[in-house]
A and B are shown apart, each in its own frame.
Chain A
Amino acid sequence: MSHGEETDSESFPSPPDVQRRRVRPSFHLLTILLLVAAIACWLSFYQLWSETQRMESELPSLRELARELVVSDPSMYAVVRHHQLWNDDFRWRIYLPPDGNYEIHLATREIAGDLPQPKVSKPIAPGEHELELRTAPDGDEVRVEVLLDGKVHLETREPDEWDDASGSVGGSKFSANRQQQPDQPLILFHRRFSFPNSGNTVRAPDGPGRGLVLWITPDGTPSGESAPRD
């Protein structure tokens, strides 16, 4: 009997032993490896996700700084002006939606608030283009050129007194990347020259005057003064 009692006490753990075994769970090596693998997978995901978030948050300002053309909506115009390297440096990268025909216009006179009658116009194909507006003295004249993808696309000449360098109002309508509905004229540049006032001051003309306007319209739409401004 006493032997039986001893056997009972050796065979079956006392209640404290059971409790100790409960709080000390044992795992197979496979379970531990799987746990490590699961943690590693989610840690790599977290690192990757944080890195992606960081880059995504920095990209808008980087795009603005780099003046990259971003076309979020391919049915709209997109424009970005390249960084200005000098005060007469006017270069843009533009995007024109594919399902349309367009004309580019240049005006040098009769410039007021609205769009003037163009002095020269030419078709421009849809897609992405590099545009540059240049003015340079050429003998007794001033040569005004619009370069399309590096080649002269529009050209006109004005007498030397056309711009007496008294000053001007306006300039490029775009700097950072912008998109615009294609049913409105895409006005890239709008500048009115000032003229000497009494004394040493200058002022903008009250009515239409000399200046430079460069804009793009869908082909077949009025490109002159009846066209609305943006």
Chain B
Amino acid sequence: MPRIDAKHRGEGQAKVFMQRALNPLLILIAVAGLVATVVDHRRQAPIAAEYRQLSAAMGTLDITDPDRFIIRRLKTEDPFDFAWRFYRPADTNLMTRVQFFSGASSSTAGGSQGEVLLRVRLRFEDLGMRVFFKHGSGSSTSGVGNAELGKFVRSHWEDLDIQVTEVGEQIELPLDETVTLLRISVPDRLLEDLDDSVRDRLKRYTSREIKVVLGTPDALAKAGGS
């Protein structure tokens, strides 16, 4: 009987001791967590400010699948300027085909994975219009030396058929598919507004559109665009 009593008393003391030790320990852990949170919050403030500022300008790209092309269109001030953030998987060749009415050009970029900025910009000049395409470190310019056509496209910009991805919309592309980033075409109904000479010339063109298509060389070849 005395043996059990001592044990019971010992348990009670241990319990009290634990209770006394546990509460301060938990307070210590909670305070440490609070301090760590406050310190990290202060450290994060400038990083978050810069991140917010840059991502407001450049958008964010969620690399959900690093084995796919990922594209997101950015907001631009100029209506004749289109820009996209573009992610390319490692060791993947990216081919771009720019169709500018009857003319077309292709370029291929390879190398390590990473993000680049793609840009398509139109410029209207006294002698016609030109398109500038920039992809990473490479660029190309194509043009049509027809002043009337340039004036027509500019003055009827709102009436042209313009297909382009929405600003902020993210597109994920398997490597065996192609994507049309931008397609601007002159609808038949507008041709009547043109001078006869320009209309006849436009009708002779094999294509009446400006189109930018991306994909791997294999995918573009399969799609008949290489």
Contacts and interface: CB of A to CB of B under 8 A. Distances in A.
Interface of A: 8, 12, 18, 21-22, 25-28, 30-31, 34-35, 37-38, 40-42, 44-45, 48-49, 51-52, 55-56, 58-59, 61-66, 68, 83-87, 175
Contacts of A30: 23
B55 interface: yes
Nearest to A64: B115
Given A41-B33, A55-B51, A65 B22 contact: no
Given A40-B30, A66-B58, A83-B117, 17 more contacts: A8-B1, A18-B7, A21-B11, A26-B15, A31-B26, A41-B34, A41-B37, A42-B29, A42-B33, A42-B36, A45-B40, A48-B40, A52-B47, A55-B48, A66-B54, A85-B81, A87-B141
Contacts of B44: 48, 51-52, 55
B99 to A, nearest CB: 19
Q: Which bracket fits the contact residues of B?
A: 35 or more
A55 B40 CA distance: 13
Interface in B134-186: 134, 137, 139, 141
| Chain B interface helix/strand/loop/mixed | helix
A87 B132 contact: yes
B130 to A, nearest CB: 9
Interface of B: 1, 4-5, 7-8, 11, 15, 19, 22-23, 26-27, 29-34, 36-37, 40-41, 43-44, 47-48, 50-51, 54-55, 57-58, 60, 81, 85, 114-117, 119, 121, 123, 132, 134, 137, 139, 141
A66 B121 CA distance: 18
Contacts of A27: 19, 22
Given A83-B119, A85-B119, A175 B54 contact: no
A118 to B, nearest CB: 28
B34 A65 contact: no
Nearest to A70: B50
Contacts of B4: 12, 18
Contacts of B121: 85-86
Given A45-B33, A66-B58, A59 B51 contact: yes
B57 A34 contact: no
Contacts of A48: 37, 40-41, 44
